[in-house]
Amino acid sequence: MKSDELFALLRRRGVLWPTAEMYGGAQGLYDYGPLGAALKRRIEEAWTAWFVGLSHDYYRIDPAEILPEAVVRASGHLENFTDPEVECENCHSAFRADTVLEKVRPEGVDGLSSAEIGELVRAHGVKCPSCGSTKLSVPRPFNMMFGLDFGVTGRERVYLRPETAQSSYLSFARMWDVGRHALPLGIAVVGKAYRNEIAPRQVLFRMRAFTQAELQIFFDPESFPLPFDRVHDEKLPVVRAARRLAGSEEVELVSAGDLVGSGGLPEFYAFHLVHTFRFYRDVLGFPADRLRLLEKSDQERAFYNRIQFDVEANLESLGGFKEIGAVHYRGDYDLGRHGQGSGKDLSVTLTGGRSVLPHVLELTFGPDRALWATADVHLGKDGERTVWRLPTYLAPVPVGVFPLIAKEHAPYALRLSDDLATAGIPNQYDEAGTIGKRYARMDEAGTPFCVTIDGDTVGEGPLHGTVTVRTRDSKAQERFPASELATRLAPFLRPPRPVRT
């Protein structure tokens, strides 16, 4: 499906819609409806189970989204978190430089100076997308953080965090104190980040308020113990930076062992790249051939990132591969900067007495983008019907409960619906329309199991107390005792976890 078509379907089903749509909406903001909110929550839980589950020493915290100015000064965001913007001197519309240059320079403007960008705009006679004038200004850096006046004096400035990572860095000292004084220590945050994007677009892919799920692993650069042999042979679909600079974006399948051996990556990096890839393939259920791991070149990465691979998914709705996550080796940049900014040394003393300023490996993930991607990848036509083939544990509503004939079977069905909810199995009761129509509604919502209560269920015959369970993907129907439902379904509703022991 194309983006517009997919968005229309999701909006019609109440998965998401523009914020304040009755007032005409707000650019780059979306509300999640019941299905979208539950799906997003399950994606976040699956991410947490997988990544925080990588170690007994990884923790999820929940810090505030507002940061004092001193923090974003130290992190470099106050100075550098900018996009080049051009303004039309005729109609006063403002645009991101890369968007007005999209045709002239499809590869983007990363690494170009303002002067170089301005020269491109001038040389190609680029026109204002709004009014057609060629009077576009010289590009200027536009800071994408939202600033706030904090307190009543008007003298205190704070910022909505542009990334959750900063909250983890700020918490490192406290987490070290309350923990068991050992590295690696992982601090995960799933929460909102805010960016005043010049040009929000592609629905959930460039929003002004969005969720990030990020795990910061603080480690001793001299020793990151991990069972590398377990992932040694796993092949990853990579596009190395050197190959890209030589003009090819072709995916190579390279084993983790070779990425380390001839490929020059550290073991700890390749190990986490494998686990990251597995998350997208085995947890979110994206087909392996729609995923690639794209290495960023020196010019493309932020200067503090020593190694960066983006995880990209091939999305029909957005016309190709799009970033949905990344693995950043950030070295000691972050703790170093905040050490300087706060005047507190963030080095820690390890058992044995050695002092070390921990390095950071960042595993970053966008639940909003992932939600869109699951719709792009898993939602589609199967003959006449529209089916969202979500992994069972991601389904917003895992179970539908239907009385075959509302008048006769509703009391039993309502009770069963309550019993399932009490047993921790979210479900939706539906008595409206034919069973076929109810199946169709649930297929579109991604519900993997539908339970029907009929005359045999409530009758006195040999099938008393049994229900029919219909499976979304196979359309197969099976009959078994209602009393066994919760136990039989529960294993399908828990997200996979990494093998740890």
Nearest to 190 by CA among 18, 34, 370: 370
Task: By CB under 8 A, tell whether 494 contacts a second copy.
Answer: yes
> Closest separation between CB of residue 149 and a second copy, Å?
8
Q: How far apart are CA 298 and CA 305, in angstroms?
A: 9
> Closest separation between CB of residue 225 and a second copy, Å?
15
Among 99, 137, 196, 386, binds a second copy (CB under 8 A): 196
Task: By CB under 8 A, tell whether 67 contacts a second copy.
Answer: yes
Assigned token pair, 66: 């507002």
Among 90, 114, 134, 171, binds a second copy (CB under 8 A): 171
Buried b (16+ CB within 10 A) or exposed e, 27-66: ebebebbebbebbbebbbebbbbbbbbbbebbbbeebeee
Binders of a second copy in range 386-415 (CB under 8 A): 411, 414-415
Name which of 428 and 457 has its Cβ closer to a second copy.
428
Q: Which range of residues in 174-182, 232-240, 300-308, 379-387 is near a second copy by CB under 8 A?
A: 174-182
Name which of 85 and 295 has its Cβ closer to a second copy.
85
Assigned token pair, 347: 């080095």
Name which of 93 and 297 has its Cβ closer to a second copy.
93
Task: By CB under 8 A, tell whether 82 contacts a second copy.
Answer: no
Name which of 179 and 481 has its Cβ closer to a second copy.
179
Task: By CB under 8 A, tell whether 435 contacts a second copy.
Answer: no
Residues 6+ apart with CB under 8 A from 207: 28, 29, 30, 197, 200, 368
On whether the CB atoms of residues 270 and 256 are closer than 8 A, the answer is: yes
Assigned token pair, 415: 């009770």
Task: By CB under 8 A, tell whether 178 contacts a second copy.
Answer: yes
Nearest to 373 by CA among 138, 28, 30, 43: 43
> Closest separation between CB of residue 344 and a second copy, Å?
6
Length of the chain: 501
> Using CB under 8 A as the criterion, what x/- string covers residues 219-238 for binding a second copy?
--------------------
Binders of a second copy in range 123-142 (CB under 8 A): 142
Name which of 64 and 245 has its Cβ closer to a second copy.
64
Buried b (16+ CB within 10 A) or exposed e, 307-339: bbbbbbbbbebbeebbebbbbbbbbbbbbbbbb
Among 9, 105, 146, 285, binds a second copy (CB under 8 A): 146
Assigned token pair, 190: 């799933």
Among 4, 5, 21, 249, binds a second copy (CB under 8 A): 21
Among 2, 8, 56, 245, binds a second copy (CB under 8 A): 56
Binders of a second copy in range 94-123 (CB under 8 A): 94
Among 192, 464, 475, 479, binds a second copy (CB under 8 A): 192
Q: How far apart are CA 220 and CA 229, in angstroms?
A: 20
